[in-house]
Structure formats: C-alpha cells, structure tokens
Structure 1
Amino acid sequence: LEIPFVHFTLQPSEVMKPAFILMLMYLIHKNPPPKNGYGLKDFLRLSFYILLPFVLIAKEPDLGTAAILFLTGFAILFIIGVDKKIWLTLIIVFVASSPILYENMHDYQKKRIADFISEEPNYQVKQAIIAIGNGGIYGKDRDEATQTHFKFLPIATSDFIFAYTIERFGFVGAAALIALYALLILHLLSLNYDFKSDYLIRVFTSALASLIFIYTGVNISMVVGFAPVVGVPLPFFSYGGSSFITFMILFGILQNLLTFRMKDNYKTYKIRM
C-alpha cells in the first residue's frame, strides 16, 4: 500500500509481526510451561493464536509471510518447551496432508514449487548461480561483475542481493556476512540462559532469533537454488523499507525489555560511581 504524499509503501502483513510476537509473549508469560513442557491442551490453545494470523495473511494471498509467522510461532514453542510426542504427531500429520495442501495452493505458488524441483533452474536462479561462480574467492571489481553491472541478475538490490554480494566480494565476503548473522542469532538465543525465569524476554528473543534465522536461511537457500523463489528479503541488507522498519521496531522493543530488567544494576553502578 502506498502512503499518500510521502511515497512510502507499506506491506500490511509487516505490521502483524511485532503484534504477533507480543501476543505470544503475553500468553506464555501469563501461563508459563511446566517442567516437562506444554501439554496438548495448552499447545492447541497457543496453536490457535498462531494459525489465525497465518490463515488471514495466506488469504491476501501472501503465503511467504504467512509461512514465516507460522514457523516463527512454532519455533517459539519449540524453544520454550512442548511435549516431544506432540511434535512427532505434527510431523506425521503434515507429511500425510501435504498433497491436500499442495492442491489448495494458487497456480503461481505451484509454479514456484515446479520450478524448484525441475532439473533446469529458472532464469532468476540461473543468473544468481552464474554471479556466485563469477565472484570466486575474493570477488570482482564493479566493472568486472558482469551479472550485476549489465543487469543480468534480477532484483540484485533486494531478493537476490546475496548473489550480488558474492560476485562483488567473493566467498570471503559471503562467509563474513553469514558469520555476522550467526553471531547475532546465537547472541539472541543466549539470552534464554541469562533470563531463564523471565518468559517475556525469553519469548521475544527466541522469536527475533527465529525470524532472522528463517529470513536469512530462506533467502540464501532461494538464491543458490535450494528453495523455491519467494519474496523474502535478507534482513538489514536487502533494499526495502517495510522489513527494515519492522526489525528496527523489534530490536527497539527488545532493548526496552532488557533496559528495564537491568535498571537496578544501573542504579547500583551509579551509586558506586
């Protein structure tokens, strides 16, 4: 949606991400899991709040964002704790119902899956793979990066920016970028151990780490041909306002949570000074 006068576009489903995480954070904080994890009753109750936005966003249709919220929601429950038997049952149900889910997809979504499993990759992925191979170990100068310089690589500043990065900065640049994402995700997950009894922070950090992991994993897998092509940006790196603003809002909320949890430490430090 284009906002009048400012020429800024907003994807409505982006607004749902902070609200979705805050909702799960509140629900889990009000009813923390027992020692052995959530049972079937609590799991079904929380699953309803995950599936509701999933269905609404998928109806837009925006299956990519809907699937990301779906995976993020259940990743939170996996980290927080759910009975293992429930996960095993869900996997069996998903595998058994996958043909029905496929038949209810839109034609363009089926085409993406068909392109993914075909022997020959589609044009976008083929050009991305050529760009990756052209980058080599240390990358190419701007004039020698033919795929991006001559605009063979589509959406080089957004969905396929990872291929552009490898062509310009090579394997070394790509490894450094992936390492930065890995460090950020591990740092967020490590907060689960620092705040074991604080489910507000645990849920939020788990959700944020899961979001970054899913976005990064899907985008990179898509570029190298290991996943269907979907409109998933690379966090903090791809061109586009909605996704970047959403992540900044999420990190702002996290900073607020951490600051107020540690305010007593700040006061003690000031007194000593």
Structure 2
Amino acid sequence: MNSSRTILLSARSLNRSFGAVVAAAAISIDIASGERLCLIGSNGAGKTTFVNMITGYLKPSSGHIVLDGEDITALAPREITRRGVARSFQIPQLCMHMPVLDNLLASLHCSRGERSFLRSGRDTSAVTECLRLLDRFGLAKHASRPVMELPGGVRKLLDIAMALTGHPKLLMLDEPTSGVSAEEKFMTMDTVMTAIDRGAHGSPVTVVFVEHDMDIVERYASRVIAFYSGRVIADGSPSSVLADTEVQRYVTGSVRSPAEAAA
C-alpha cells in the first residue's frame, strides 16, 4: 500500500469465532483512499467475515474499526451506510417483480432516509438521478423491465448501481463476477470500474472486492490481500501476492515460478 495516501479505513486486531471455528484472527488492515483492493482466499478463509465486520452485519469479538477518524465498530449497518460504506452482495438483493428503475429509486430514497418513493407525483430530480446512474452502467434500456426478466450479469450491475445511490466513500463488492459468463466477466468489470470512476465526487470511491477469478484479480486490483483460516497470509501487489508460496498452496492451488508470475 502507498503510505503517502490518506487512510480511509483502519481495522485493528479484529477477532471473531463461531464456536471452535476461528473466522478472523487478529486481522489488522489499513485501506487507503482510492485503492482498488481485492480479497482472495478459499471458501471459509475469512474474506466475507471481514466484509461483514466492516459493514456492521457482524460484530468482532474484539478489536476496532475506524472510518475517516470515527470508530464505527459498534454501529448498526444502516448507520455505517450513512457514514459512507456501501456494499453489493454475491446474490443480488433485488425486488424481482419491480422494474429496474423502481429498484434504484427505492435504494436512493433509503439512502436519503425517506420512508417511501411510492407516492403521487414522483420526485423528478430523483428519477433523473437514477436514470443517469443507469446510463453509467449501460442499464438505461432496461429501466422499465421487471428485474426477473434480466440475465444474471445485468442483475449484478443493477445491484452495484444501487450501492452507489448514497455516494459512498467505500464500496465493498462481494464476488462481482460470480454468475457472470466467462465471455462477459471482463466487460462486466470494465463497466463497473468505469461507472465507479465517473461517479466519484471529490475524493475517489475506494473499492474493496472479493474475487475467486485470478484473471479478474490481476487485471483490476491495485492491491491484494490473501486470507487463509481466518488470518492474512499475504498483502501487496497482485504480482507479489500471487507469487507467494503460501498463497499458491492455500488459495490458488497452483505453484508458479517467479517468471510465470511476472508474465
């Protein structure tokens, strides 16, 4: 990590266990503003536990989390969202029978703390904002279609677009390419990263994403953190982490020579 950058989020000595299973063991991670950080590891390694602790869905047994100088460890997910942390899910959280635009409007009004968008005379400015966001993701043509009619990759993009309605400082994406075909994975990530960059207001949006596809990791991450058995086993550039022998043994399942890793 570039130490000259401003630290947006600092996690210190996070621990979490489920009975005898250690999901997080003394996790300490600093995330700088503007980073594109990827979390890798096998299922059960601790990646999602870390994301859930940052977003408030799971409380650490010990340790603390500081966002922009404020301790958010004990805050509820909604309060953490209001302070600038948003997330998408591995399985998109969408209202399947509602049109695409209405899903986005619901998310926008929730981010504003409003109870409902289903009222007479819709807020024209809200509709305009949502249509612009759909356009950034290439989804404007689907605005009036029910979500249930959309393919999986389009639903993924909508879920991420909804996470951006609150203009977050930190965006956490849980496996953004899962369920997306091999032919569409790069196009999907290109769309996501371009839309995020275009949506930045002042400070850039910091992105943390969980990913199993090493092609995606190498192409889109500026930094990679590898988890194994609830602990961090490597932290650095994509090339250095993917060349690490522990990462190759416990995460990628393949041993590559330094020359192959560099290539």
TM-score w.r.t. length of structure 1: 0.32
Larger radius of gyration: 1
Bigger proportion of residues as strand: 2
TM-score w.r.t. length of structure 2: 0.33
